[in-house]
Structure 1
């Protein structure tokens, strides 16, 4: 009887022919996914692009350096921790120019589509980026986490509490910009903590690229210009 049910069941098959854009694959997976437990975007990426990328994200999300820097303040459930780590790694690779000359792939540009960008970065990590580039970005990330924990302490990725005194959550955009800043050895200066505090306070007041259309290319570029300006100020410290 059970065999008959299986034999009579109608299967729907999606054949994805190369070179289908990653955005289309992602959208198809999203539609198929709606029939069962709804996966979030990072869970879908984890299912679609398993390999070196997912192994690296798991390793970094469980690393002592990350857990200390965030005070375990980013939920591992639904892969929220791996999502913010992937964003940080992707932007580090992008800013370093590692996504321009990838063997076997078109250059990866950021064009206001964070999901397409992250999908392509995971593909590059899986099969196209050389091992040296992967180890370099891994080590940069871990070094940044260690410095942030040691220099900034428990409130590194949080804006100051509101008037009510309620502690605010870890801010994803602060996480990725400060991770970039702290990959540089110049941050090893005594007077940096008050400077970072002032910088965060100014951002919290003005908002701008940290609050509006945050994944638009213009906002991403503006945030990292802010990070570069902060680095310039750090370099001028005694």
Structure 2
């Protein structure tokens, strides 16, 4: 089998100008499953494509979003790695049989707010006062988010600082103010993180374009709060720190902020976020939610995603790099609130992306800072994962080789309700469950007849849950059908073992 793949990569030419070109590779599989990579040709294309040639008569073409570990990928080995990662990501999505959250889902739903209520104010802060606000946590830089997405290229960080020293204006920043007066960064997180890091001597300037001779290799300034001590340290090591004229220039530079007022409807905030989210690496929906979440909400989701039993039950296959694990968990929380009739649960209307946006907002406002709720949801989710693993091993949420989100939701919503006391044959349970999904009266064998007499309207329910887990999985009726039928499946499997 030969798989032809075209990916977009960034290269840097001899004049140090960055450009995007498309490099076409072939991945060739032989009989012993060894892969060979080689470059076919370089050519400029209008878009980045990936083509998997399955055979002469069948092929699939779909867009690729390359995730760069650095800003520039220019070596053959890095290109091969990016190709492999992109191929595997797309293969995962194709096999998962689960609908992607996309903008169409949002646009098809009537907006639940009056656009005239949107309030965005312009504010100017100096860099010095901005960093002071970050230090006092009145501007929330979201440490978890930073660790995953902040710039790592020292040259890029240094040249941002150089732009400030050269008096080149920085693009506008967007903040969202919450009811406690805390600013959450909607756009500009990486730039603010770099400014904060440099003013706290987090790195030395390197590879400057114009000021290397004067400022290269230098920290910002001594960090002592006492002015005399700071002056003495500077005079003792003048070559270690920036000349004072650049320190003053950086401190006094005004940054332009557009601040979304706390009275702006929650869904309007997400609309604004999506419209301004046009950077080099656009955020997915769960990354946006994470950026909008309060520290309490982020900590709650992180504590659940860090559970070892969650990782075991999902076969360590759900990535945390773009918060895919927390998106799964947020689905569980949203429907847990519904199933247990919480006052501030969110009605599900068939648009999963909007639903999860609203669940995050309600966690922010009502639940994530309440100790009892934190304990209740933690214990429920933990027990759900434990029971799923006890019953099905690491295949509780899989129909093929990958996690099926619809199956995860239908199992997890039910599994926490049981106190399991016996040992279970997970392999046999998976086989029986899958036979239910694909039940056929015409097959007259022992396994196939297991379900007869145990579930009413067996063939209809088999077809219904199979369809609910395969296509249109976010439809209201299909989510509820999968939930109720899965409850019957679990009851039978648990009772048979008892």
What TM-score do you get using the length of structure 2 for normalisation? 0.41
Give, in whole Å, the separation in 2 of the partners of 1:7 and 1:146. 50
Is residue 198 from structure 1 mapped to residue 198 from structure 2 by the alignment?
Answer: no
Q: Decide whether the 8 Å contact of 1:177 with 1:223 is kept in 2.
A: yes
CA separation of 1:227 and 1:8: change in aligned 2, threshold 3 A: closer
Relative distance call for 1:197 and 1:225 in structure 2 (3 A) is: same
Structure 1 residues 44 and 2: CA distance shift in structure 2, 3 A: same
Q: Residues 50-90 of structure 1, C-alpha deviation per residue, up to 9 Å, x if partnerless?
A: 32221111111111111121121111121111111111121
Q: How does 1:1-238 map to 2 (within 5 A)?
A: 2=165, 4-6=167-169, 13=258, 15-16=260-261, 18-20=263-265, 22-98=266-342, 101-102=343-344, 108-129=346-367, 130-159=370-399, 168-185=401-418, 187-189=420-422, 193=426, 194=428, 197-203=431-437, 206=463, 207-234=466-493, 236-237=495-496, 238=498
Look up the SS of the partner of 1:152 in the other structure.
Answer: helix
Give the match's secondary structure for 2:472.
coil
Number of positions where the alignment pairs a residue of Structure 1 with one of Structure 2? 224
What is the CA–CA distance in structure 1 between the aligned matches of 2:316 and 2:300, rounded to whole Å? 18
Question: Residues of 2 paired with 1:118 and 1:225: CA distance?
Answer: 21
Distance 1:226 1:15, change over 3 A: same
* Residue 181 of structure 1: how far off its partner (Å): 2.0
Q: Give the CA deviation at 1:226.
A: 1.7
TM-score by length of 1: 0.80
Distance of aligned partners of 1:58 and 1:15 in 2 relative to their CA distance in 1, 3 Å threshold? closer
Partner of 2:78: none
Q: Which has the higher contact order (CA 8 A, sep 6+)?
A: 1
Q: Which stretch shifts more, 89-98 or 4-13? A: 4-13
2:390·2:424 contact (CA, 8 Å) conserved in 1? Answer: no
| CA 4–150 in structure 1, closer or farther in 2 if over 3 Å, else same | same
Note the residue ranges of structure 1 that are not aligned, 5 or more in a row: 162-167
Closer, same or farther: CA 19–203 of 1 in aligned 2, 3 Å: farther
- Structure number with greater Rg is 2
Q: 1:234 to 1:92 in 2, by over 3 A?
A: farther
Determine the C-alpha separation between the residues in 1 that align with 2:280 and 2:261: 21
Aligned mates of 2:361, 2:170 — CA distance in 1 = 36
Higher deviation after alignment, 63-72 or 179-188: 179-188
The 1:65–1:45 alpha-carbon spacing in structure 2 relative to 1, beyond 3 Å, is same
Q: 1:203 to 1:190 in 2, by over 3 A?
A: same
Deviation at 1:128, TM superposition (A): 0.7
Taking only aligned residues, the RMSD between alpha carbons, in angstroms, comes to 2.9
Which structure: greater helix fraction? 1
Deviations 1:34-60 (A, max 9, x none): 234211111110001132221111111
